[in-house]
Amino acid sequence: MVRTISAAIACRSCGKDVLYLGTLPAIGGYAAVHVFKCQTCMTVHSKPAKSAEPGASRVFEGTSDC
């Protein structure tokens, strides 16, 4: 999988650019989401793939793999 830096999306926790990890498909009643990860604070963000509201997103606190 190729990870790309998403300069248009900044981390809500620290404000740095995030990496685009990929898209999780829609399952049942849940919509498809784009998944991003901040390399600075290791926070994972998700944003609906086809969202009517551009500000709608979820934030998951991650743990460092180091």
In a domain, 47, yes or no: yes
Q: For residue range 19-61, what is the model confidence (pLDDT) as tens digits?
A: 989 899 999 888 899 999 998 999 998 888 875 444 555 665 5
Please check whether residue 37 lies inside any domain of the structure. Answer: yes
41 in a domain, yes or no?
Answer: yes
Task: State how far the Cα of 11 lies from the Cα of 44, in Å rounded to an integer.
Answer: 9
* Strands annotated E in 11-63: 17-24, 33-38, 44-48, 58-60
Domain assignment of residue 10, yes or no: yes
Domain membership of residue 65 (yes or no) is no
Domain membership of residue 19 (yes or no) is yes
> How many domains does the structure of the chain reveal?
1
In a domain, 51, yes or no: yes
Q: Quick one: pLDDT at residue 62?
A: 57
Structural domain includes residue 27: yes
Give the domain range for residue 25. 4-60
